[in-house]
């Protein structure tokens, strides 16, 4: 009973110990996996700001740009006057009164002057010619006499003039349509101008605001790195300890598994031994009962055989002596095995393993205690690193960006202030230009009405004095168109000259050099614009040109490259934290971390396991087997048969009955042996065989335990120090790797990502598109279209005045002046749908 209680207690303790050890191994593997160094992922790319779209979405006057530009290139074939511009800017008070300079300017502008002279001639001659023509016609000259001589070629002349007037009118109409379209494009461009300027200023302001933010992002990333390393230092014990435990698992796990199997096999051996003892006790009890029964029958049979009346009974007396079952079934070696198992329970193998496990589990805490000083010193060094990197933001001259931001804010205020005035002025300009377009359209309409009504009412056979009112109305419309042309064309030419000088010179002196880069080169002239020399203003040795700055920004280069900030900031020295990391490394190297692991199995315990194995080897069941074979040799039926035969020869009925009854009892006893004792012996034999196999297996497991535990102990004794050093070095390299990754990322980010100035170039290009490609080109397209119409007014006047006489009603007939002139048949004019 006591043995059973000890066995259950030992079984529970061993199972609990093994479960805790396996759970500890699993936890160590999980922690080790989580503690994997990820220094390469320490930093992420900084976020670039989002900018508004500044693409001009208005109707551009690009349909006339090639014509206007080719005309302006013809008018002004000279290259950009860089020297003139520099002289004007630098010596404006003196140079403008210098006759030589004025002469050079006039020579440079000779193309514009020629065009102006032609325009002035147009302005002067057109009203004079119109006045003279009106006077002459009033006097009956210059076609003023209401008489038309009828000739054979009159129809051919009329058709020629008709088609010429029609073609000229269509050309003027095309120019008028271009006027309307360019005027509308100019209005749309000007109206969207303030909004586009706001977007451009907003993008520049966003860029200027993003630069300090990106610099702060780099500094904040350094703080994140320092905080991460600080957390790892605070968790140094679990991180290094988990890796050390994982390194130990390779040798400890097989040893622990073998101990677990040994404990289970000892429990199995104990259970089988209990079963064997129980079987032996049960079998011995059955044998004893059979022996008692046999002894009782033997005594009774002995009395019967010794009866004087028993015939020939003396012959069975020797057989009666063999009638016995005095057998003691036991195994002396079972006591030795039982003693060995009791000894293993007393040793309490699970407590020894628990001590080793507790020693392994305490590794993280022991490492935390032994590295307390080095962690404290390392944190102080991390604070120095934080101060070192924080100096970066103060080294960059970010205050200059604040000045530019204030200028942008002021510019934004001015745009908001004058936007309503600009819109109001633009509405007035648009209305005036629409009026001009309508006047030109009026002249076109007069010509078109004349071209329609004249042929429609013309009767070829009718006398010129009898022409229809429709034809006469068409001729009058021709004269009205000519009159309006004389009346307004010279005024319109003044508008053309003013807009031509304004828009043409803006294109040739601003937009064209802006596009080819000459304007930026002029701006780069030293001293031209005070305070624009960026290099000395920020303390640079290198001279920074606006053109170079613009080209770099077009390529979206960072400010580090564009502004040559390497001359202001020694980035390598600023990010060189090797002095601090060297201090941390030296402190770790000077710290001697030692871990002592208790012996898994003491020499005494190893000796006890050896004795236990020897006892298992001595287990021998031959004695029990021989005793069971003795039981198998007993056959009471043979003796019963002899007694039955003897009873048959007896004459005394009592003796005969007694012998018969005793023979029956022997057969019953034999039957009881076969039905009760034989199965018990079979069960006992099976228990013996099972126990024999178990003892062999347990004996092998004991050898495996001694071997694996010995190998594990040798591994711990040999490699513990090296493993501790390796894992400590790996942990240190991981933490230093965070700083290496950060410095590489910070250097790459600062030199290639911070302050990509593409938005600045985009702002300049947007201004170019808005001003030159939209406003200036629309303005040039308007005066070019108006001038186009005015040039064709001259042939339109000539053709319309000549063609009007073919449709107007004459006052004098051809027959009234010469009655003998034969009138040729004039065919009716045919209208063609155009």
Please give the distance of CA 735 from its chain centroid, rounded to a whole number: 26
Mapped to the 3 state alphabet, what secondary structure does 365-387 carry?
HHHHHHCHHHHHHHHHHHHHHHH
* 825 in a structural domain: no
Give the burial class of 164: count Cβ atoms within 10 A of its Cβ; 0-12 exposed, 13-18 middle, 19 or more buried.
middle
User: Are 195 and 260 in the same domain?
Assistant: no
User: Are 709 and 651 in the same domain?
Assistant: yes
* 808 in a structural domain: yes
pLDDT of residue 439: 93
pLDDT of residue 545: 76
For 147, which DSSP code?
B
Cα 745 to Cα 52: distance, rounded to the nearest angstrom:
29
Domain boundary among 676, 706, 727: 727
Cross-strand pairs, 812:
147
pLDDT of residue 727: 78
Q: Is the dihedral of CA 346, 350, 353, 354 positive or negative?
A: negative
Q: Where are the alpha helices (DSSP H) in 507-602?
A: 512-516, 518-523, 534-537, 546-554, 559-562, 571-574, 578-590
User: Are 360 and 435 in the same domain?
Assistant: no
User: Are 719 and 777 in the same domain?
Assistant: no
User: Are 638 and 770 in the same domain?
Assistant: no
User: Are 602 and 719 in the same domain?
Assistant: yes
* 163 in a structural domain: yes
Average pLDDT by stretches of 10, the chain with 834 residues: 37 34 34 46 65 57 79 87 72 66 83 92 90 77 61 76 92 93 89 84 83 81 82 81 74 72 74 77 77 80 79 75 63 69 70 68 77 78 78 65 74 80 89 94 92 79 72 86 89 93 90 83 68 60 76 86 78 73 74 64 70 68 66 74 80 82 83 80 77 74 74 74 79 80 82 84 85 88 93 91 80 49 42 37
End-to-end Cα separation, the chain, in angstroms: 131
* 380 in a structural domain: no
| Helices and strands (DSSP H and E) totals, the chain | 30, 0
Long-range contacts of 763-766 (CB under 8 A, 24+ apart): 763/54, 763/200, 763/201, 763/203, 763/204, 764/550, 764/553, 766/54, 766/55, 766/56, 766/196, 766/199, 766/200
User: Are 699 and 600 in the same domain?
Assistant: yes
Q: Where are the alpha helices (DSSP H) in 41-153?
A: 65-75, 82-90, 92-95, 99-108, 110-138
In the chain, the number of structural domains is 2
Q: How far is CA 109 from CA 198, 303, 510, in A?
A: 36, 170, 15
Residue 828 tokens, joined: 């009716």
Cα 705 to Cα 194: distance, rounded to the nearest angstrom:
90
Q: C-alpha dihedral over 673, 676, 677, 679, to 10 degrees?
A: 130
| DSSP helix, strand, coil percent of the chain (3-state; round to 5) | 80, 0, 20
pLDDT of residue 785: 93
Residue 594 tokens, joined: 């030692």
Cα 683 to Cα 115: distance, rounded to the nearest angstrom:
134
Specify the DSSP element, H or E, that contains 192.
helix 154-234
CB 632 within 8 A of CB 670: no
Mapped to the 3 state alphabet, what secondary structure does 691-711 carry?
HHHHHHHHHHHHHHHHHHHHH
pLDDT of residue 11: 35
Q: How far is CA 441 from CA 173, 426, 653, in A?
A: 7, 22, 169
pLDDT of residue 143: 59
CB 172 within 8 A of CB 793: yes
User: Are 192 and 73 in the same domain?
Assistant: yes
* 598 in a structural domain: yes
Round the CA-based radius of gyration of the chain to a whole number and report it.
Answer: 62
Neighbours of 455 (CB within 10 A): 21
* 749 in a structural domain: no
Q: Where are the alpha helices (DSSP H) in 753-832?
A: 758-768, 777-804, 814-817
pTM exceeds 0.95, yes or no: no
3 state DSSP class of 429: helix
Neighbours of 93 (CB within 10 A): 6
Residue 177, domain extent: 64-215+414-537+764-813
pLDDT of residue 29: 37
Q: How far is CA 308 from CA 315, 542, 642, in A?
A: 14, 152, 19
User: Are 528 and 654 in the same domain?
Assistant: no
CB-based contacts of 122, cutoff 8 Å, min separation 6: 489, 490, 493, 790
User: Are 72 and 199 in the same domain?
Assistant: yes
3 state DSSP class of 812: strand
CB 55 within 8 A of CB 490: no
pLDDT of residue 124: 92
Long-range contacts of 619-626 (CB under 8 A, 24+ apart): 619/333, 619/336, 619/337, 619/691, 619/692, 619/695, 620/333, 621/331, 621/333, 621/688, 621/691, 621/692, 623/330, 623/331, 623/332, 624/280, 624/329, 624/330, 624/331, 624/684, 624/688, 625/685, 625/688
Cα 742 to Cα 41: distance, rounded to the nearest angstrom:
9
Neighbours of 153 (CB within 10 A): 9
Instruction: Name the residue among 738, 79, 672 with its Cα closest to residue 385.
Output: 738
CB 442 within 8 A of CB 488: no
Cross-strand pairs, 147:
812
Domain boundary among 670, 701, 727: 727
CATH assignment at residue 289: 1.20.58
* 117 in a structural domain: yes
CB-based contacts of 469, cutoff 8 Å, min separation 6: 457, 809
User: Are 278 and 182 in the same domain?
Assistant: no
* 377 in a structural domain: no
Q: ∠402-404-409 over CA atoms, to 5°?
A: 95
């Amino acid at each position: 009973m006591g043995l059973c209680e000890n066995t259950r207690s030992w079984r529970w303790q061993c199972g609990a110990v093994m479960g805790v050890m396996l759970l500890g191994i699993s936890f160590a593997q999980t922690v080790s996996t989580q503690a994997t160094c990820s220094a390469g992922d320490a930093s992420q790319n900084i976020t670039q700001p989002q900018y508004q779209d500044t693409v001009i979405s208005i109707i551009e006057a690009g349909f006339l740009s090639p014509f206007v530009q080719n005309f302006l290139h013809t008018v002004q074939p000279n290259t950009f006057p860089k020297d003139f511009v520099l002289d004007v800017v630098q010596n404006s008070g003196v140079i403008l009164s210098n006759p030589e300079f004025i002469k050079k300017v006039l020579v440079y502008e000779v193309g514009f002057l020629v065009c102006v002279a032609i325009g002035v001639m147009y302005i002067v001659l057109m009203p004079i010619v119109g006045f003279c023509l009106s006077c002459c016609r009033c006097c009956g000259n210059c076609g003023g006499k209401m008489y038309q001589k009828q000739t054979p070629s009159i129809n051919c002349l009329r058709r020629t003039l008709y088609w010429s007037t029609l073609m000229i009118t269509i050309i003027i109409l095309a120019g008028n349509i271009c006027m309307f379209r360019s005027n509308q494009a100019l209005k749309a461009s000007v109206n969207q101008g303030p909004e586009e300027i706001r977007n451009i200023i907003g993008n520049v302001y966003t860029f200027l605001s993003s630069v300090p933010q990106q610099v702060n992002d780099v500094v904040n990333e350094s703080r994140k790195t320092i905080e991460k390393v600080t957390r790892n230092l605070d968790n140094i014990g679990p991180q290094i300890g988990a890796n050390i435990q994982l390194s130990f698992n390779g040798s400890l796990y097989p040893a622990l598994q073998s101990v677990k199997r040994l404990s289970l096999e000892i429990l199995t051996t104990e259970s089988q031994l209990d079963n064997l003892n129980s079987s032996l006790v049960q079998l011995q009890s059955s044998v004893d009962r059979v022996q008692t029964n046999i002894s009782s029958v033997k005594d009774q049979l002995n009395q019967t055989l010794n009866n004087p009346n028993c015939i020939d009974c003396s012959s069975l007396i020797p057989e009666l002596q063999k009638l016995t079952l005095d057998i003691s079934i036991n195994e002396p070696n079972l006591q030795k095995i039982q003693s060995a198992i009791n000894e293993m329970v007393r040793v309490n193998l699970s407590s020894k393993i628990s001590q080793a496990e507790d020693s392994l589990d305490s590794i993280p805490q022991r490492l935390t205690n032994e590295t307390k000083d080095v962690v404290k010193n390392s944190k102080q060094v991390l604070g120095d690193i934080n101060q070192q990197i924080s100096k970066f933001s103060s080294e960059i001259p970010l205050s200059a960006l604040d000045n530019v931001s204030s200028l942008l804010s002021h510019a934004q205020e001015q745009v908001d202030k004058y936007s309503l005035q600009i819109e109001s002025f633009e509405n007035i300009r648009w209305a005036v230009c629409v009026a001009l377009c309508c006047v030109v359209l009026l002249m076109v309409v007069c010509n078109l009405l004349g071209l329609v009504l004249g042929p429609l009412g013309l009767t070829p056979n009718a006398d010129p004095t009898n022409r229809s009112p429709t034809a006469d109305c068409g001729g009058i419309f021709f004269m009205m168109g000519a009159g309006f042309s004389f009346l307004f064309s010279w005024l319109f030419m003044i508008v053309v000259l003013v807009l031509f000088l304004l828009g043409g010179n803006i294109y040739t002196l601003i937009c064209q050099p802006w596009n080819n880069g000459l304007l930026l080169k002029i701006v780069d002239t030293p001293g031209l614009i005070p305070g624009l020399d960026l290099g000395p203003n920020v303390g640079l040795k290198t001279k920074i040109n606006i053109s170079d700055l613009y080209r770099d920004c077009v390529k979206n280069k960072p400010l580090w490259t564009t502004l040559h900030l390497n001359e202001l900031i020694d980035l390598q020295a600023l990010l060189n934290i090797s002095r601090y990391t060297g201090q941390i490394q030296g402190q770790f190297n000077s710290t001697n971390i030692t871990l002592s692991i208790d012996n898994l199995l003491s020499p005494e315990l190893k000796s006890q396991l050896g004795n236990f194995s020897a006892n298992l080897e001595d287990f021998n069941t031959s004695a029990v087997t021989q005793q069971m074979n003795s039981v198998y040799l007993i056959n009471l039926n043979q003796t019963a048969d002899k007694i039955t035969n003897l009873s048959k020869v007896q004459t005394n009925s009592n003796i005969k009955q007694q012998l018969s009854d005793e023979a029956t009892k022997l057969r019953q006893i034999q039957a009881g042996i076969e039905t009760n004792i034989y199965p018990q012996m079979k069960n006992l034999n099976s228990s013996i065989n099972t126990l024999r196999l178990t003892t062999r297996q347990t004996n092998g497991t004991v050898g495996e335990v001694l071997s694996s535990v010995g190998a594990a102990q040798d591994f711990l004794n040999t490699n513990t120090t090296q493993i501790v050093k390796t894992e400590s070095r790996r942990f240190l390299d991981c933490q230093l790797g965070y700083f290496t990754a950060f410095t590489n990322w910070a250097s790459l980010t600062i030199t290639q990502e911070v302050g990509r100035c593409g938005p600045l170039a985009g702002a300049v290009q947007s201004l170019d598109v808005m001003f030159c490609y939209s406003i200036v080109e629309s303005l040039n397209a308007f005066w070019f279209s108006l001038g186009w119409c005015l040039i064709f007014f001259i042939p339109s006047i000539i053709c319309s005045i000549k063609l009007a006489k073919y449709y107007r009603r004459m006052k004098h007939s051809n027959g009234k002046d010469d009655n003998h002139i034969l009138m040729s048949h004039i065919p009716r004019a045919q209208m063609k749908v155009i």
